[in-house]
Amino acid sequence: MRRALKIYRLLVVQNLKRLMEYRADFLTGAVSFLIDQAVGIGFIFIIFSQIPQLAGFTFPQILFIYGLSQIPKGLDHLLTDNLWCIGYFIVRKGDFDKYLIRPINPLFHVIAENFQVDAIGELVVGIGLLVYAAPNADLHITVWTVLLSLIAIPFATLIYTSLKIMTSALAFWMKSSGFIIQMVYGMNEFAKYPTTIYSFPVRIFVTYIIPFAFTGYYLSLYILTGTDPLLSIGGVILISSVLFVISILIWNKGISAYESAGA
Amino acid sequence: MNKIMKRYVPFMKAGVQSLIIYRLNFMGFVIGGLIYCFVMFYLWRAVFESNGGGIFLGFSMTDMVVYLFLSNTTTQLIFSDVSNEIGEEIRDGSISMRLLRPVNTDLSYMFGELGTALMKLVVLLIPVILGLEIYRFYVTGTIVFNPLNFLLYLFSAVLAYIISFRVNLCFGFIAFYVKNLWGIGILKNSVIGFLSGSLIPIAFMPEGLRICLEYLPFASMSYTPVMIYMGKYGAYEVLFRIAIQIIWAILLYGLSKLIWFGAIKKLCIQGG
Amino acid sequence: MIYAEHLRKEFKKVVKEPGLKGSFKALFKPKKEIVVAAEDISFHVPKGEILGFIGPNGAGKSTVIKMLTGILTPTSGECRINGKIPQNDRKNYVKEIGAVFGQRTQLWWDLPLQETYLVLKEIYEVDDASFKKRMDFLNEILELEKFIKSPVRTLSLGQRMRADIAASMLHSPKVLFLDEPTIGLDVVVKDNIRQAIMRINKEEKTTVILTTHDISDIELLCDRIVMIDKGKNVYDGSLHELRENYGQTRELVFETDKSSKLTKEQFRKGLNPNENDLVIENEKNNFKVRFNSNKIPVAEMLSYALSVTKVKDISVKDADIEEIIRNLYRQGEALNE
């Protein structure tokens, strides 16, 4: 564990050094994601300039859900961006070989290799929205709601990461699974708004099958309502743990099916 | 004309081929687009409900559905990847290879994309329009489809493609200055998504912004054709909007040429 | 040290029919075909040996190396290295081996070389003192100083290969797998790398498995060779034996008059050789005659050739190992047909 942290720190430092080398790129990336976010928020502002509330939530509450949903997304983006490359080309080109001949866990190695600072855009916007929306969102702020919500954030992040691990691992059988990651990841759009606006089948889908509902709506529910922590926070922890275990099983199965390149 | 076709048809075929080869990626984009449309559909449904149903800023819920799916489809139809392509070619230096070929550089890019655009027309646009018309028939009980509007839509979409192609061409040359093409791509998509009205109808935006956006080239890229299809414009306004599209197509043609010549000069100095 | 027993590896491959229809078919109902990359490979390498693992393209060399390094899981059969089965305990196993794949680098593309080694030091848990000693040694034999501060992407192919070899040696592995370590390099760099491999083997008793298409690599480095073709063992033995058994091939080059020719027909009449014992190639009036000197003595061949055609010039070449291997490949092909 200590060795893992040391390796991780070393690689992150290397990544930051590289960042300094390509400063313009970093700026473009971060600014791009920031603007992407701004556009999404502009959208909500425009809608709410016409209606007082949406599905029983006020404008600040909607902003709060939206903002909170961006934090797990941003954290996952910051830490595990390299999984995309597994799906798009690392496996297809046979470059996964190198992870298998090193004496550390290949999944850890893949993830540690990239530290994606572009994610600053999502994190800044997420936190900014929380700060902006919190005073008017009628939150139930107690030690418990805040503490449990904070604890749930890493688990919500794990939902993103697990889905990415699963879908990228499909590349071990399919050679390239970029489009599947794209498709599944794209469903995080559902997380931005209260799950109650969706029809019943869609709600089931985003809650139990591709459970992005837990990364935004359910994550916010406890602090918004002050009730039912078991359903919201407990749900996030349970679902993310189950998902993570499944993803690791798929990943490990994938490694033994890995065919390298050529032949 | 025949001679030109003969020379560029191979590029078109290559375009079709590459869409088939990358069909899974293409499907990913289509499905991703549909997911997005559905999220938006539910969001708008909730908005309409909160608003007490009926008409919202001149749009009925049926209008909204048509707008949502058609503008997303149009955006995919006129999607141009030329900025990425040029960017990659600049980065790996193969752009000098393209300059060596005895063909018009713009046209060779364009015909490559024409192939994919034709495929998308068949496998994407026609099914979506069919679905939307069935939906409209189901909701309103009458056939709303207007063939004239459909033809005008197609014509306007062609202009929209030309504008999109030129805008992307200009974007592609940024690769001379920035290496993070991927970040630029995200930036480009979200900015164009917002400014072109594919995210939210320009009609919904605050007065000043709306007027401003309607005259920018981005509105010409999907908003104009979709609004024409939906019959939101009268005869005079259709002509006016198409005229704006044509003007932008010409202006952007000039701009992209200017940048292109500048780029070639830079290329010669850098040595590719 | 290294035991490979009846290794077999199958790959599933999706077969796509041509055209649009084929693409749609492949999308919904992919037709799968099983490709056997390694059919039945067995060999054994004692400690401290340099083994040349050779075979034509597509013979299954890389597949076998990847099974030995634990990258691929064998379909059947087993390999044991230092008593360990690579796939069973990967983390501990890979600490004992080093691997270089000539076609791709394992270094971090954007990092300066030195930083790469620092990261690897942590990954392989090399302590500071041994690391320093190790870097000095590797610096000395691979001459890394000149480019150790440059990012890997800026290195030339030869520098990169040296850097890769050093990276694979950092943790003093007991076994070193080198898959085409000299591919695409010029003669000077090749020589440098061969020297380094030799020293590593001599000074540290490192067992080396080397695949290559460059016959000089084998001649200069390998104690023994294992040759495979179409996924099966073809030859296993020392280079010396190979030359003894198969090395009777000689090559004579006759330059003839413009009007004269040398054909197999002419030889068939007088010497009546077997099909494999005689090969004739020509380029204008230079006729290369390769033959088995066990069957046809050189003197006989010479005098016969002189008797049937007008010869302006003659040169004689000794059989080199490349020739022998080419013959072996050819025999393998004949057997398979």
- Candidates B42, B184, B205; nearest CB to A32: B184
Quote the pLDDT of residue A151.
95
Work out how many domains chain C is built from and give that number: 2
**C211 in a structural domain:** yes
pLDDT at residue B95 tops 70: yes
Quote the pLDDT of residue C18.
64
**C337 in a structural domain:** no
Q: Are B205 and B122 in contact (CB under 8 A)?
A: no
pLDDT at residue A263 tops 50: no
Alpha carbons A73 and A160: distance in angstroms, whole number: 7
Quote the pLDDT of residue B248.
94
**C170 in a structural domain:** yes
B209 touches chain A (CB under 8 A): no
Quote the pLDDT of residue C52.
92
In C, which residues are within 8 Å of A95 by CB distance?
A: 104
pLDDT at residue C334 tops 60: no
Q: How far is C98 from chain A (nearest CA, A)?
A: 8
Q: Which of A22, A85, A100, A107 to mutate to test the interface with C (most CBs of C within 10 A)?
A: A100
Neighbours of chain A (3+ CB pairs under 8 A): B, C
SS3 B90: helix
C294 touches chain B (CB under 8 A): no
Number of other residues whose CB lies within 10 A of the CB of residue A3? 11
Q: Are both C233 and C265 inside the same structural domain?
A: no
Element holding B213 (H helix, E strand): helix B207-215
Q: Are both C238 and C292 inside the same structural domain?
A: no
- Interface predicted TM-score (ipTM): 0.80
Note which residues in 81-100 of chain A have CB less than 8 A from chain C.
93-95, 97-98, 100
Q: Are B37 and B68 in contact (CB under 8 A)?
A: yes
Q: Which of B28-32, B56-60, B165-169, B179-183 has the highest mean pLDDT?
A: B165-169
Q: Concatenate the DSSP letters of all residues of B100-116 into one string.
A: HSSS-HHHHHHHHHHHH
Q: Which of C20, C21, C28, C153 to mutate to test the interface with B (most CBs of B within 10 A)?
A: C20
Number of other residues whose CB lies within 10 A of the CB of residue B51? 17
In sequence order, the β-bridge partners of residue C13 are: C33
Q: How far is CA C93 from CA A58, A142, C97, in A?
A: 59, 52, 7
Alpha carbons A83 and A169: distance in angstroms, whole number: 9
**C22 in a structural domain:** no
SS3 C3: strand
Element holding A53 (H helix, E strand): strand A53-54
Residue of B nearest to C24 (CA): B20
In C, which residues are within 8 Å of A256 by CB distance?
A: 73, 87
Element holding A52 (H helix, E strand): none
Which of C219, C243, C267 is the endpoint of a domain? Answer: C243
Q: Are both C75 and C223 inside the same structural domain?
A: yes
SS3 C123: helix
In A, which residues are within 8 Å of C63 by CB distance?
A: 263
pLDDT at residue C337 tops 50: no
pLDDT per residue over B224-259, tens digit each? 999 999 988 889 999 999 999 999 999 999 998 888
The pLDDT of A16-24, averaged and rounded, is 76
Number of other residues whose CB lies within 10 A of the CB of residue A225? 15
- Higher-pLDDT residue of C141 and C294 is C141
Q: Are both C292 and C180 inside the same structural domain?
A: no
On the 0-12 / 13-18 / 19+ scale of CB atoms within 10 A, B271 is: exposed
Alpha carbons A79 and A96: distance in angstroms, whole number: 19
Q: How far is A221 from chain C (nearest CA, A)?
A: 42
Q: Concatenate the DSSP letters of all residues of B137-176 into one string.
A: HHHHSS----HHHHHHHHHHHHHHHHHHHHHHHHHHGGGG
CB contact under 8 A, C72 and A258: yes
B178 Cβ contact partners less than 8 Å away, ≥ 6 residues apart:
A24, A25, A28, B184
> Looking up tokens 């056939």, which residue turns up?
B143
CB contact under 8 A, A260 and C106: no
Q: How far is CA C119 from CA A11, A96, A113, A207, C131, in A?
A: 7, 18, 11, 41, 12
In C, which residues are within 8 Å of A11 by CB distance?
A: 119
Q: Are both C93 and C117 inside the same structural domain?
A: yes
C126 Cβ contact partners less than 8 Å away, ≥ 6 residues apart:
C120, C134, C170, C171
**C216 in a structural domain:** yes
Element holding A106 (H helix, E strand): helix A106-112
CB contact under 8 A, B36 and A55: no
C23 touches chain B (CB under 8 A): yes
Alpha carbons B272 and B94: distance in angstroms, whole number: 8
User: Which parts of chain C fold into alpha helices (H)?
Assistant: 19-28, 61-68, 90-94, 113-123, 128-142, 157-169, 187-204, 215-221, 239-246, 264-270, 298-308, 321-336
SS3 C103: coil
Number of other residues whose CB lies within 10 A of the CB of residue A124? 16
- Higher-pLDDT residue of C198 and C278 is C198
Q: Are both C198 and C285 inside the same structural domain?
A: no
**C326 in a structural domain:** no
Q: Which of A81-95, A158-172, C221-235 has the highest mean pLDDT?
A: A158-172
Q: How far is C199 from chain A (nearest CA, A)?
A: 24
Alpha carbons A219 and A195: distance in angstroms, whole number: 11
Looking up residue C99, the CATH number of its domain turns out to be 3.40.50.300
Q: Which of A21, A31, A33, A51 to mutate to test the interface with B (most CBs of B within 10 A)?
A: A51
Q: Maximum Cα–Cα distance for chain A, whole Å?
A: 63
A9 touches chain C (CB under 8 A): no
Quote the pLDDT of residue C27.
58
Q: Any idea what DSSP says for residue A193?
A: S
Query: How far is Cα of residue C77 from the mean position of the Cα atoms in its chain?
Result: 22
Note which residues in 76-95 of chain B have CB less than 8 A from chain C.
none
CB contact under 8 A, A190 and B179: no
**C25 in a structural domain:** no
Q: Are both C151 and C296 inside the same structural domain?
A: no
A→B interface, C-beta within 8 Å: 22, 24-26, 28-33, 35-36, 39, 42-43, 46-47, 49-55, 118, 176, 178-180, 182-183, 186-187, 189-190, 192-193, 197-199, 202
Q: Are B71 and B222 in contact (CB under 8 A)?
A: yes
In B, which residues are within 8 Å of C23 by CB distance?
A: 20-21, 23
The pLDDT of C208-212, averaged and rounded, is 92
pLDDT at residue A160 tops 80: yes
Alpha carbons B76 and B67: distance in angstroms, whole number: 14
- Higher-pLDDT residue of A68 and B51 is A68
> Looking up tokens 């406890």, which residue turns up?
A222
Residue C269 binned pLDDT confidence (cut-offs 50, 70, 90): confident
Quote the pLDDT of residue B93.
73
Given the DSSP bridges, would you call strands C311-317 and C286-292 parallel, antiparallel or unpaired? unpaired
Quote the pLDDT of residue B272.
41
In C, which residues are within 8 Å of B23 by CB distance?
A: 23, 27
Residue C321 binned pLDDT confidence (cut-offs 50, 70, 90): low
SS3 B219: helix
Q: Are both C199 and C99 inside the same structural domain?
A: yes
Cα dihedral across residues C90, C96, C101, C104: positive or negative: positive
Q: Where are the beta strands (DSSP E) in chain C?
A: 2-15, 31-45, 50-54, 76-81, 97-101, 175-179, 207-211, 224-229, 232-238, 249-256, 278-283, 286-292, 311-317
In this structure, chain A runs to a length of: 263
Pick from A93, A108, A234, A204: which is nearest to A165 by CA? Answer: A108
Q: Are C24 and C50 in contact (CB under 8 A)?
A: no
Q: Are both C232 and C258 inside the same structural domain?
A: no
A14 touches chain C (CB under 8 A): yes
CB contact under 8 A, A47 and B47: yes
Q: Are both C211 and C110 inside the same structural domain?
A: yes
Q: Are both C223 and C136 inside the same structural domain?
A: yes
In A, which residues are within 8 Å of B179 by CB distance?
A: 22, 24-25
pLDDT at residue A182 tops 70: yes
In C, which residues are within 8 Å of B21 by CB distance?
A: 23
A101 touches chain C (CB under 8 A): yes
Quote the pLDDT of residue C333.
60
- Candidates B29, B31, B180; nearest CB to A29: B180
Domain of C139 in residue numbering reads as 2-8+38-243
In B, which residues are within 8 Å of A77 by CB distance?
A: none
Quote the pLDDT of residue A123.
92
- Please give the share of chain C, as a percent, with pLDDT higher than 70: 87
**C328 in a structural domain:** no
In this structure, chain B runs to a length of: 272
pLDDT at residue B268 tops 90: no
In B, which residues are within 8 Å of C20 by CB distance?
A: 20
A3 touches chain C (CB under 8 A): yes
Q: How far is B195 from chain A (nearest CA, A)?
A: 9
Number of other residues whose CB lies within 10 A of the CB of residue A204? 12
A50 touches chain C (CB under 8 A): no
Tokens read off for C141: 């034999």
Whether the pTM exceeds 0.90: the reply is no
Which of C243, C260, C281 is the endpoint of a domain? Answer: C243
Which of C243, C259, C274 is the endpoint of a domain? Answer: C243
Quote the pLDDT of residue B270.
53
Looking up residue C299, the CATH number of its domain turns out to be 3.30.70
Residue B207 binned pLDDT confidence (cut-offs 50, 70, 90): confident
pLDDT at residue B61 tops 70: yes
Q: Are B42 and A187 in contact (CB under 8 A)?
A: no
Given the DSSP bridges, would you call strands C175-179 and C97-101 parallel, antiparallel or unpaired? parallel
CB contact under 8 A, A39 and B193: yes
CB contact under 8 A, C91 and A10: no
- The mean of the pLDDT values for chain A is 89
SS3 C282: strand
Q: Are both C51 and C189 inside the same structural domain?
A: yes
pLDDT at residue C177 tops 90: yes
Quote the pLDDT of residue A212.
94
Number of other residues whose CB lies within 10 A of the CB of residue A159? 28
Question: Radius of gyration of chain B from Cα atoms?
Answer: 20
B43 touches chain A (CB under 8 A): yes
Quote the pLDDT of residue A243.
96
pLDDT at residue C95 tops 80: yes
C162 Cβ contact partners less than 8 Å away, ≥ 6 residues apart:
C142, C143, C144, C189, C192, C193, C196
Alpha carbons A11 and A1: distance in angstroms, whole number: 15
